[in-house]
A and B are shown apart, each in its own frame.
Chain A
Amino acid sequence: MKKFLFSLRRQLLNNRWEDELDEEIRFHLEMSKQQKMKAGMTEAAAKRAALRDFGGVEQYKEKTRDAWGWRIIRDTMQDIRYGLRQMWRNKGFSTVVILTLGLCLGANTAAMSLLKNLILEPYAYKDTRNVVLIGTRYLKIPEYANGISNLSIPQFRYIEENQTVFESLGFIDPYLEFDMEAEGGLERIPGDRVTPGVWEATGVEPIRGRTFTQADLDTFGSRVAVISERLYRRVLGAGQDVFADDIRLDGNTYKVVGVMPESFYLNIDRSDVWIPRDIYSVDAHRNNHSYWALGRLKAGHTLEQASIELDQLFKSYSEQYPEDQREVEVTGKTFDGIPVNDVVTAQVPMIKTAFISFQVVTLMVLIIGCLNVSGMIMVRGLARLRELAIRHSLGAGRFRLARQLLTEVALLFFFGLLVSYLVFDGFIHLTYVLQLDEIPWGQSFSLDYNLFWLSLGLAAVLTVLTGSLPVIGVLRSNLQGLIQANALTHSGGKGKHRFHAFFVMGQIAFSTLLLVLSGVSLLNLRAVLERDLGFERQGRVGVSVPLPSYRFGRDQAAYLEQKEPFRRRALERLSELPGVIHVSAANRIPGSIDDMGHSDFTMPHYTIGENEVNPNALRNNISPGFFETIGSDIVLGRDFADTDTWESQKVVIVSENVVDRYFKDLDPLGMQIRFWGNDLTIVGVVEEIQDKPFFIPETDFTLYFPLSQWEMYAYATTFILNIQGRPEAYIDTIRQAMLEVDPNLTMTITTFEEVFGLMVFAQELPMQLTTLFSVLALFLTAIGLYGLVSYVVAERTREFGIRMAIGATPRSILSMVGTWSIVWVLLGLFFGIAAGAVVCFLLTPVFTDINPMNPWVFVSAAAIIAIVAVLASLKPALRAVRVDPARALRWE
């Protein structure tokens, strides 16, 4: 310890210590010289002799420094100082390396964080691995076999009573909305109803207060609520103490007991409030499958065990209902669970594809960047061999020099890291620009440090592997010999150029590949955007209004007295607005992610085959004039009319694909469909529309029912308007008009364009990202090429000078440099195009709307690369031509 402190003091007094050592040695030499002069030598001879007797001054100084233990600290400090000086001296080089590293690492970390937050680990519960989403699985229906479908209340209760593998089990009634009384009037907030088991299953601690328990339900009779951090802040912002004041939801008073953190959500949508759901005292409908269950596996129990038990439970459960046996048989229906974090990848495989493509793209950019950095560091290191050799001869050890080179690389990395953090931050902002925050569950992106280090490690390995070539060179080479042969400037360059050029070629190949990919996804997106949706989106807007039972009642009388008159008044008021062309009402916006549940239908004339299942209906309840409003054509028959009422014959309009599939040679008009126990007469056929986002597998048939015959079951209505001009400009007017009809309304106004944005999300995102990243890649490649050609030209300046001195023309010099770089560019293009062809071939199924082997994409990619290559090498190549022979020969 004492020794260490001693060393440390020395270290701090470093400069003084160096001075003292100098003085000590100077004194020695002086004494030696004087002694020799006394013996009769001249002063000069005595000085020489003194130095000879002493030996190498610097060498012994170095050894004396070594005698002290703090050498490593001091050397490192010195290396860092020296490295910083080097960086400053080569500002251009350092900037490029640091920016390259920063861009690549930042982009890659952002990509990986996105992927992780959105797709791979969307839920952050306690020990999320053990949390399982439980539902039904249809093993024999390919579209559903990977995912999990909803449960009914009796099913949940059966599982809860009989299971042994889960330590806790929670029930979720998801995607609800409540009217909350707030300062400025009513506010519509999203929420879920849950059983207390959900809190145990997720294990997430509230940030304030507590969650509710069964005891609360016994005391407060279900009138307790847990709210989100977001709502908490908003309410607090309004100056209310949520714990003291109760909140009012749908006209009822709830006592707030806790606040859940921002990162907590139960379904793939953000809720602001969780209130209890009583599933035991109610008479639950057996066929209402709209619920989820979350279970936490007992310690030591595996998912397989849970799967097996759930399967057995389903068997015993379904024995109670022999009438379901056929459906169970055909669909392969059973209970099953998947880890909650696999939900997104299992339910929406197309989103997974989109994000993996993003990941691959950023990885390629990372490789390009690393090739760039490696190439530059390597070439610079080799270029400095001469300087290193000189320093070696002055007494610097080989390890010392090697360590110093590594310190310089580490410094570049350090600054690259700082920049990458900024870049990461920028990308996070970009995700908002790209509206990734519209993905409901992806609202908080944070830097995942593990991923950050992973990216860094990846880049470090790649770069150090190649960047250490000069270090190895230093350790191995005959440094002394290098000086003597003066070999460094004139020969031995071919090999390193080839290496460097190889890297640049790699970059060109990867850039070409990326350009091809972005071209293909651009074309694909264009094709998707041009797809006929079957309806118009320009000038269309949806106004979604809840019809909560606390205000509108829930039976038929309530419908006739409340909901129907309200709808008529609203339609009338909206149609009076200036600029409104058509108005109608529906239960959802076509193409939106809102899903009114899967219900199957049958047709008396059609007997389903042995292994066939009943078709599922995507249920649209609409008012007369709906098709006119959305610009969809009725192909056959008629629209609904005011004469279609609760009392009249139940009618249905089907989509063209229903006719194509089930009514091939028949006239469907007047034929029957059986749905929810009703016989419906087909009165019309409309053109098929894209009724769900593109990334959701299309398996359902769109059926249209008149609101007037079904709306008594509805808790919400969406008014649809066709407006002249930009619908955004009308939003306030619409809101005002609706409040005139009912001052207590809450509403959500969505343009069809916004809905469309989510519809094409899985196509648009890969396109935007590949394009962005291919621009980045192109930029990096240009830098790489520029660096290569500049370096080669600088190294061969002397040679060019000689050639020009003996009569070479500028043109011939230019062609020498040009030919050399063109060969490498062509090689890169060749490999890039070849790889692009292979990748496009493999991705054919992903690009749904075009043939990805489009020759124009390849030609344009090659052309862009060629242009960039010419531009990047033009400047340095011209520098070669401008070489002044006289100066060049002096170049040392």
Chain B
Amino acid sequence: MAKGIFKRKQERGDLLQGTLDLLILRTLQRGAMHGWGISQSIYTVSQEVLQIKEGSLYPALHRLERQGWIRAEWGQSENRRRAKFYQLTSDGKRQLAEETAYWEQFARAVHLILKMG
């Protein structure tokens, strides 16, 4: 029975755990942005490869806010509507640097393995 209770379906095409956080932080390095803006930015910058379910952005944003890596503020959007803008905190910047370094290291490792004879 216990197994039944804990069974969770794994959604296909999910981003690697933690990757979304990295993408958000990196995107916000360019300046304060609202959720919609972040999703569009990730989509276009990744040359339309990384299609994330837009909704999944919000749990991640709130998680990051809770960690203290980003800060949220209500402001006016380009079409003069009220929107919630997120921006990096100094903690967030440090975290981004760390995660970027880690990711690069990881990607290099994967790259090396794929390249091996």
Contacts and interface: CB of A to CB of B under 8 A. Distances in A.
A82 interface: no
Contact of A67 (B4, B35, B54, B59): B59
Interface stretch (B77-85, B92-100, B105-113): B77-85
B49 interface: no
Given A20-B84, A476-B1, A32 B62 contact: no
Contacts of A24: 34-35, 58, 83-84
Given A32-B54, A55-B54, A64 B77 contact: no
Contacts, number: 78
A577 to B, nearest CB: 84
A199 B90 CA distance: 73
Nearest to A57: B55
A362 to B, nearest CB: 36
Contacts of B60: 67
Given A67-B66, A68-B62, A68-B66, A27 B55 contact: no
B36 interface: yes
A60 to B, nearest CB: 4
Contacts of B1: 472, 475-476
B61 to A, nearest CB: 8
A23 B82 contact: yes
A815 interface: no
Contacts of A34: 79
A699 interface: no
Given A20-B84, A476-B4, A25 B66 contact: no
A54 interface: yes
Q: What is the predominant secondary structure among interface residues of chain B facing chain A?
A: helix
A53 interface: yes
Contacts of A475: 1, 4-5
Contacts of A60: 55-56, 58-59
B53 interface: yes
Contacts of A21: 58
A516 B35 CA distance: 74
Interface string A28-42: 101110100000000
A27 B54 contact: no
B59 A66 contact: yes
A827 to B, nearest CB: 31
B62 A27 contact: no
A63 interface: yes
Contacts of B84: 20, 23-24, 27
Nearest to A27: B83
B62 A28 contact: no
Give the contact-size bracket for chain B: 20 to 34
Contact of B58 (A6, A25, A53): A25
Interface string B1-44: 10011000000000000000000000000000011100100000
B66 A28 contact: no
A398 interface: yes
Contacts of A27: 34-36, 77, 81-84
A21 B35 CA distance: 11
Contact of A64 (B34, B59, B82): B59
Given A27-B36, A475-B5, A55 B56 contact: yes
A60 B60 CA distance: 10
Contacts of A579: none
Nearest to B35: A28
A59 B55 contact: yes
A50 to B, nearest CB: 9
Nearest to A21: B58
A63 B59 contact: yes
Contacts of A890: none
Contacts of B62: 64, 67-68
Interface string A503-537: 00000000000000000000000000000000000
Contact of A55 (B4, B5, B53): B53
Contacts of B35: 24, 27-28
Given A63-B59, A67-B66, A28 B82 contact: no
A494 interface: no
A209 interface: no
B66 A69 contact: yes
A66 B62 CA distance: 9
A178 B39 CA distance: 96
Interface of A: 2-3, 6-7, 20-21, 23-25, 27-28, 30-32, 34, 53-57, 59-61, 63-64, 66-69, 398-399, 472, 475-476
Given A24-B35, A64-B59, A476-B5, 19 more contacts: A3-B66, A7-B66, A20-B74, A24-B58, A27-B35, A27-B84, A28-B34, A28-B35, A28-B39, A28-B54, A31-B36, A53-B54, A54-B54, A55-B55, A55-B56, A56-B55, A67-B63, A69-B66, A476-B4
Enumerate the 7 nearest inter-chain pairs by beta-carbon distance, A residue then B residue, closest first: A60-B55, A55-B55, A63-B59, A67-B62, A55-B53, A31-B36, A67-B63
23 contacts: A2-B68, A20-B74, A23-B82, A24-B34, A24-B35, A24-B58, A24-B83, A27-B81, A27-B82, A28-B36, A30-B81, A31-B77, A34-B79, A54-B54, A55-B54, A55-B55, A63-B56, A64-B58, A66-B59, A67-B59, A69-B66, A475-B4, A475-B5
